[in-house]
Amino acid sequence: MTKTDRFKVMIRCNQCGERFILRGRRSTEGRVETGFKQCVCDNAERFDILSMDE
């Protein structure tokens, strides 16, 4: 996987249970970057981030 390869990511809020499916990239530090900032319930910290197979 190269630096510009993108993959589907499911983000689930641990506060309200809302789910978001976005495209993300793996950063050089190993983190997933999607641009996601906060949930509709104003939670900005507690999330489960899972990569999805396409």
Closest CA to 27 of 51, 54, 4, 53: 4
pLDDT on residue 11: 94
Q: Between vectors from CA 46 to CA 5 and to CA 29, what angle results, nearest 5°?
A: 35
Q: Which amino acid is at 12?
A: R
Other C-beta atoms closer than 10 Å to the C-beta of 9 total 20
1 touches 26 (CB < 8 A): yes
**Model confidence over 1-54: pLDDT tens digits?**
555 688 999 999 999 999 999 998 888 888 888 989 999 999 999 999 888 855
